[in-house]
Amino acid sequence: MSGGPSGGTAAGERGHAPARAAVLGHPIGHSKSPALHGAAYAALGIELEYGRVDLTEEQLPAFIGRVRSEPGWRGLSVTMPLKSAIVPLVDRLEGRAAELGVLNTVVVEHGPAGPVLVGYNTDVTGIVEAFRHAGCARAESAAILGAGNTALAAVAAVAELGARQVAFLVRDPSRTGEAVGLAQRVGLRVTVEALAEAAPAAVGADVVVSTLPPRAADGFADAVAALPVGAQMEHDGGARVLLDVAYDPWPSRLAEAWKGRGGVVLHGLEMLVHQAVEQVVLFTGRTEARSQHVTDVMCDSVGVPRRVA
């Protein structure tokens, strides 16, 4: 649904047309969010139209104006490159979005003067739940590939998992200020390493989150694959666990290299499922979206193995 879904009212407070939501980004054709949300709404018995809208940063303000003026909008899922650009266009930030200054979710509330746009960040929960449902409930150390918007969510997530130190593995160490500042504020010890030389640091961390775009970690993957045979992929708590948020194509070269060295790999879609669950709760108010049944049908919709109860 490039260009925006049509018709509808939001919370049923402005007419009787169907409710609607959409995922925004550029490019957006590959997004799995419509499948995830559609499966959840069907399981919950909710009529809510959910589509894709391909938008650049320059086009975003005009589209947000439409959301404010057109009936029907319940919420927006926001992906690259809009997670920062949309922040000044909402009315307030809540929870993790306020802490991080980055959002991936907008909820359209209805105030006395009209729609109120509220920003949330469900990426943090998505990362945490992906690790927890893989049996990784705690981690002492973490490595994060990249230092952009998703890396900020990764910082908050590894802190929630109990990490005490984090290494940022980046292509340009001079551009890590925001991520490093956040890590220090939440009490993490921080190191920064150039990505080209950081494979040993990655395999030494309990958990690793790659926030790089598709194929951007291919060179790093080759460095992981080339490490000496004795490079440790296990620690007292079990195998080192990698979450690669880039899910298309899959498996990524990094996922293949990590698994080839004996590490555990989490599919990027696992994070997407769990962050989408929280979006469904925010868009509908239906907390049963977190149930095993709804999560299972969402996993089925994108071919991710169901979580273990």
Given strand 141-145, what is the order of strands in its sheet? Answer: 189-194, 165-170, 141-145, 207-210, 241-244, 264-266
Cα(159)–Cα(50) distance, integer angstroms: 33
Residue pair 156/182 in contact (Cβ under 8 Å)? The answer is: yes
Contact 160, 128 (CB under 8 A): yes
Residue 20, SS3 per DSSP: strand
Of 276, 214, 213, the C-alpha closest to 251 is 214
Q: Which residues are the active-site residues?
A: 83
Six token digits for residue 162: 């109990």
Buried/exposed 206-234: b ≥16 CB within 10 Å, e otherwise? bbbbbbbebebbeebbebbeebeeeeebe
Instruction: Give the span between the Cα atoms of 202 and 279, in whole angstroms.
Output: 31
Torsion of CA 100, 103, 107, 112, to 10 degrees: 60
Contact between residue 276 and residue 40 where contact means Cβ atoms under 8 Å apart: yes
Neighbouring CB atoms inside 10 A of 136's CB total: 21
